[in-house]
Amino acid sequence: GDSVTQTEGLVTLTEGLPVMLNCTYQSTYSPFLFWYVQHLNEAPKLLLKSFTDNKRPEHQGFHATLHKSSSSFHLQKSSAQLSDSALYYCALSEQGTGSKLSFGKGAKLTVSP
């Protein structure tokens, strides 16, 4: 079945350093990939989603590139901010099955001064 793997459980960074959170996936068909962010005491919300035309999605300084050859959709940001501290979930939706979204285990990012 479909699955999403996030290898980092906890990530601690100093403000200003680059961020990279890994996401790899297994899927039978060509899936759509998403990054959701959940700040403390808030609901998860969409950060980025993959495009069908290979464009690189960007939002709030974050970007991610879907690499079908390596089945990856890593999240990156050039310079971490204190406000980026949150839980980040990579998620997968398989084409033709809009009713099921599979989430990775999540990565807790803590940015310190």
Partner 1 sequence: AQTIHQWPVAEIKAVGSPLSLGCTIKGKSSPNLYWYWQATGGTLQQLFYSITVGQVESVVQLNLSASRPKDDQFILSTEKLLLSHSGFYLCAWSLGGENERLFFGHGTKLSVL
28 counts as binding partner 1 under rule CB under 8 A = no
CA–CA separation, 96 vs 76, rounded Å?
28
Task: Tell me whether residue 26 or residue 78 sits nearer to partner 1 (CB atom).
Answer: 26
CA–CA separation, 9 vs 3, rounded Å?
17
Residue with tokens 């290979």, as numbered in its chain: 54
- Please choose, from the candidates 78, 19, 113, 62, the residue with its C-alpha nearest in 3D space to the C-alpha of residue 49: 62
99 counts as binding partner 1 under rule CB under 8 A = yes
Residue with tokens 């084409």, as numbered in its chain: 95
Task: Tell me whether residue 95 or residue 112 sits nearer to partner 1 (CB atom).
Answer: 95
CB of 83 to partner 1, least distance (A): 19
Residue with tokens 């993959």, as numbered in its chain: 50
CB of 79 to partner 1, least distance (A): 26
Interacting residues toward partner 1 by CB under 8 A: 31-32, 34, 36, 42-46, 49, 52, 89, 91, 93-106
